[in-house]
Structure 1
Amino acid sequence: MEQKMDKKSKNVASDNAFAKFDFDDRLIKMIAEMNWETPTPVQASMIPMVLSGKNVLARARTGSGKTAAFLLPLIQNILQLNIERPSADMRGPYVLIVAPTKELTSQIFTQLQQLIAPFLLFKLSI
């Protein structure tokens, strides 16, 4: 199912520095709506690695963008999976996220909910 974007959305998406990662247009639009204009240093280095399927261990200060650096490529990879193989056999789970604390789990869950708002094909559970 293809979702068309209006001209204003396309301009927002093309002006966003996250567009260099070749994310789905809907994901770029959500990033713009969250007012994320430029990837943080940790995001700029991690996102390409996660997109290419590499295992990544990142250590950075709180608020550096680590959560988004993992979530954005995961969402993109799931979208690609569904585009490339849209069969009924492709039911999830696609991703299992493990976090060491309840607080971090809640933070990840909240950010993931915000990012996948335009994609009705995902379900989340804690």
Structure 2
Amino acid sequence: MKICVAALCDFAQVRECLLTVASAGITRVWRPQYPAPMGLMLALVIEVAPAEAALPREIRIRVEDSDGKRLAESSGGFQVDVPPEGNDPGEVLMLPFAIDFRGVELPAAGRYQVIVDLMTEDIEESALAFRAGFPSEAARQ
């Protein structure tokens, strides 16, 4: 099991095991004042080997500030029923997720990160960092 895609974006949606993403790869958000809504979603695709698919799994995703303070957390379980027809022997499964953090409040301008934890000993957490700033900073970049 591994994370194949992880991106902060304006919008993500899963329909019929397909992930639709708009404006992925966000590393900066500009807000006129703080506290302000994060305004981001997480697009995620996890690759699962057929032998692992039937095992119950857990995933935890959290938003933290630069000091590690948790601003939000989302967790859940997943398990895949692999149909015998339609898949090649040994074919890996791609599981898409869209997690909505648009309403999470950012208390101040600064560095933040979204941590994806597959809750498995042999898989490290993945971190997606971003900076929140003021629109005047955007003009300087």
State TM-score, norm by structure 1: 0.26
Q: As a proportion of its length, which structure holds more strand? A: 2
State TM-score, norm by structure 2: 0.25
Q: As a proportion of its length, which structure holds more helix? A: 1
Pick the structure with greater CA Rg: 2
